[in-house]
Amino acid sequence: MLEELRMEVYRANMELPARGLVTYTWGNVSGIDRKRGLIVIKPSGLNYEDLTPEKLVVLDLKGRQVEGDLRPSSDTATHLRLYRAWPQIGGIVHTHSSMAASWAQARRDIPLYGTTHADYFYGPVPCTRDLTPQEIETAYEEETGNVILETFDERGLNPVFTPAVLCASHGPFCWGKDAAQAVYHAVVLEELARMACQTEQINPQARPAQDAIRDKHFYRKHGAHAYYGQG
Amino acid sequence: MLEELRMEVYRANMELPARGLVTYTWGNVSGIDRKRGLIVIKPSGLNYEDLTPEKLVVLDLKGRQVEGDLRPSSDTATHLRLYRAWPQIGGIVHTHSSMAASWAQARRDIPLYGTTHADYFYGPVPCTRDLTPQEIETAYEEETGNVILETFDERGLNPVFTPAVLCASHGPFCWGKDAAQAVYHAVVLEELARMACQTEQINPQARPAQDAIRDKHFYRKHGAHAYYGQG
Amino acid sequence: MLEELRMEVYRANMELPARGLVTYTWGNVSGIDRKRGLIVIKPSGLNYEDLTPEKLVVLDLKGRQVEGDLRPSSDTATHLRLYRAWPQIGGIVHTHSSMAASWAQARRDIPLYGTTHADYFYGPVPCTRDLTPQEIETAYEEETGNVILETFDERGLNPVFTPAVLCASHGPFCWGKDAAQAVYHAVVLEELARMACQTEQINPQARPAQDAIRDKHFYRKHGAHAYYGQG
Amino acid sequence: MLEELRMEVYRANMELPARGLVTYTWGNVSGIDRKRGLIVIKPSGLNYEDLTPEKLVVLDLKGRQVEGDLRPSSDTATHLRLYRAWPQIGGIVHTHSSMAASWAQARRDIPLYGTTHADYFYGPVPCTRDLTPQEIETAYEEETGNVILETFDERGLNPVFTPAVLCASHGPFCWGKDAAQAVYHAVVLEELARMACQTEQINPQARPAQDAIRDKHFYRKHGAHAYYGQG
């Protein structure tokens, strides 16, 4: 069952160490089959070199394990929360990649400083508020999903236009139309985070790029009038 | 047609990922055959691993596509603008390389802090002004070329002595006598940008190198009295 | 004798250059056989490419050499001091890894800024006081062990919950249940140290993660109620 | 002639790109045969991949070319000046390695912040004064050697105890008993320079390590009472 999705999610997981986004087991990718309402996700704490498509875990959207002997990622409840809220997304990734996690630890949004950012994110990458001690102690992983949704709701953000978030004191979650694009966005985010940090080091008074640059670059790549790539 | 130039531009493009200057498809190199008035450039949004010399696109200096089924780089109009203005140059490269793009996002010239810089650039690497919203919305890529030319004109810079520019909130364009040299300059620029940032971190009051150092090192490598290399 | 431990300590030593934690010969790993009261440690100043399991040195807990022709690591007395004081640990590693050693040179504890840290360390990574000139001149390596123990005693730290220390003006020592886990903690420490430095660069007013986050993440991975991994 | 020295200097040169200390042709290593009074040095501007032992250039201490068709490194006069002044040294290397060159551009000595530094350098790594315009314009490379000697003389430094210098606005020169050790010191210097920069970032009020630490670590590795390594 779900042969193709398993392979897709497997490949997306293996891209994380290949791109230098994870140390040891720090990270997990999932993908969803919207028709069947099933997700495929990395097992908890498994080394990437030991991962195979068969070892991936299949769950339904309520978190009931449908296939696989291994325990799913400890972050599974966060993935499920986002899949339930956002039907537009098909893949999710969580990492502790160095620069993005540092912005999360600094509890700051990543400002849109240039075209590299605007090519993929239509505005700053938001950082959530802190969870309350009660949220942490009761249903930590699900509440992590809730605070992500709260952040997007309160700021009126569209997850398709802003395909990543920083969880305060923790690290990034990214998503996309499928698992591969979610990981693509995680790679882009890490590079944006590095460049934003360097930009402020070079000029502590750096200002974000103007709105016209943001619009031009985002819509050069996205939507009906896009003219980047081979269409 | 243009077999040799195609191969040269292909090799220069492939040097970008090999030297760590590009993530995914972020970057493009072109070269020109001045006699025929034709340029060869990377197709838009193509992965480097899928690139072949045959897939490169050939255009005339007015931007009319002469060979190739693929759409040329979305930055083609910037390349063309520079080729038309500066007959001395034979190759152009655009990247979002991490440190050079960070200076561009910080909207600062890169000061000439030492001999590594002076060996290739006879003065600071200039950063353009912001484009106006109107320039961005009408003919963005061509206006990017115009603001580069404006920067060099207003400051009285010779593109052969200053073979790179930073486009504000965007990233670098570099050039040279051919595509290979343009990429060489892009590698040098990235290293200069990193070292200038580190220099200011180590000494926030760092001063540029004195003019005599700039003159000595630049002319040790360039011009009639050069004595570096096997000449 | 100690075939298995030799192999384990050999592999742990070789992991140091593989993970980028050492330059040249800067680092050493040891492991202990608690039943026999013997430790296995890297020889002093030997290049990793020349290391074999047979070249490792065996000593008893008083530092008497039991096997091996080579001189043991110059830091052996520090290892022995920790093994004698802490029966819970089975492996120790010392490196000069770039970011952790920089915090040690800055003489600062590494604050617990986020979940990456809390997954392995239940609080800041402590930095020792300076040794006195007398301690340095008499029995430097043993006194290094003493000041580590003093740091943990005075702060009431459990070495199992805080498996690393920074020696002021020097570098880190890490430990674990065996040599492999000690090196694992050294890799984690280096990444934490890098992220903490970046966090403060991005936000000079960064605050540590709240206690609830520390508790949640540490106990998600450790102790009776852990639910990370495959148990 | 000088087969062995050629091979030694060749290997030392090739170590530079292997260790990430040079970009393109930026760097050169030489070695000396004190009995014959001859030095072997890299040709100017040659790519490392094109270098062979046969292409190295042999000169006497007055700079007269004795063997080789290629022009010697443009920095040859600096090497010769140091060999003539310091009979204790057998190899010299010049690089533009990123962090050491950044300290040189910042025109600052590298403070001795810890044991990694003290294991190889008995005090700060000194930075020279600026050359005067006249010194630059007349005999630049020889005057570079002169200002290095002036720095060591005025500060009463022993080149064996301080095997490197930073040339203001330029980059490092390192040396050792032979070409291999000179390159070894260049690798150490680059790592020290990186760690010192990070140390000041983590703690802008960082103080150098105390003198007792400097003495302990330097003499643990050097001189009659050394006990590091296999003696």
For the stretch C154-211, pLDDT in tens is 999 999 999 999 999 999 999 999 999 999 999 999 999 999 999 999 999 999 999 9
CB distance from B56 to chain A under 8 Å?
Answer: no
Q: Say whether D115 and C46 touch across the interface (CB within 8 A).
A: no
DSSP for A186-209, written as a single string? HHHHHHHHHHHHHHHHH-TT--PP
Q: Residue C1 has what pLDDT?
A: 73
How far CA A51 is from CA of A23, A38, A44, A64, in Å, comes to: 15, 20, 11, 21
Domains and CATH numbers, chain D: 3-221 (3.40.225.10)
List per-residue pLDDT tens for chain D, 231 residues long.
Answer: 799 999 999 999 999 999 999 999 999 999 999 999 999 999 999 999 999 999 999 999 999 999 999 999 999 999 999 999 999 999 999 999 999 999 999 999 999 999 999 999 999 999 999 999 999 999 999 999 999 999 999 999 999 999 999 999 999 999 999 999 999 999 999 999 999 999 999 999 999 999 999 999 999 999 988 999 987
Counting every residue, how long is chain B? 231
Strand partners, A38: A33, A60
Interchain contact D199–B (C-beta under 8 A): no
- Chain C interface includes A51 (CB < 8 A): no
A50 an active-site residue?
no
For residue B1, the model assigns a pLDDT of: 73
- Quote ipTM for the complex: 0.96
For the cut 90, the answer to whether the pLDDT of residue A35 exceeds it is yes
Question: What tokens appear for B176 in the block?
Answer: 């040279």
Res. A217: pLDDT tops 80: yes
Tell me whether residues C70 and D230 touch, CB distance under 8 A. Answer: yes
CB within 8 A of C20, min separation 6: which ones? none
Residues of C with Cβ-Cβ distance to A102 under 8 angstroms: 195, 198-199, 201-202
What are the CA-CA distances from residue B30 to residues A32, B176, B182 (Å)? Answer: 41, 11, 9
B114 vs D contacts (CB less than 8 Å): 101, 104-105, 169-171
**Interval C210-221: pLDDT, tens:** 999 999 999 999
Residues of C designated as active site: 119, 228
Interface of A with B in 114-133 (CB under 8 A): 114-116
Locate the chain B residue with the closest alpha carbon to A188.
B23
| Cβ B102 vs Cβ B140: under 8 Å | no
End-to-end, the C-alpha distance of chain C in Å comes to: 32
| Closest by CA position to D163, among listed D125, D194, D129 | D125
Q: What local confidence, expressed as pLDDT, does residue D1 receive?
A: 73
Segment C122-132, tens digit of pLDDT:
999 999 999 99
β-strand partners of D95 = D27
Residue C37: burial class (beta carbons within 10 Å; 0-12, 13-18, 19+)? middle
B134/D contact by beta carbon, under 8 A: no
pLDDT of D187: 98
- Report pLDDT digits (tens) over C31-70: 999 999 999 999 999 999 999 999 999 999 999 999 999 9
CB proximity B17 to D under 8 Å: no
Question: Is C137 an interface residue toward D (CB < 8 Å)?
Answer: yes
Whether D220 sits inside 8 A of C44 (CB atoms) is no
Q: Are B128 and B224 in contact (CB under 8 A)?
A: no
Q: Which residues of chain B have pLDDT under 50?
A: none
- Looking at residue A1, its pLDDT comes to 73
CA distance between the termini of chain A: 32
If DSSP states are collapsed to H, E and C, what string results for C110-123? Answer: ECCCCHHHHCCCCC
pLDDT greater than 90 at residue A231: no
Which of D46, D39, D101 is closest to D76 using CA atoms? D39
CB–CB contacts below 8 A, C to D: 90
Beta carbons of B169 and A201 less than 8 Å apart: no
Strand spans (E) along chain A? 27-33, 38-41, 57-60, 65-67, 91-95, 164-167, 171-176
Q: Are C202 and A197 within 8 A, CB to CB?
A: yes
Are D199 and D127 spatial neighbours (Cβ–Cβ below 8 Å)?
Answer: no
Cβ-based neighbour number of residue C153 at 10 Å: 10
Strand partners, C27: C95
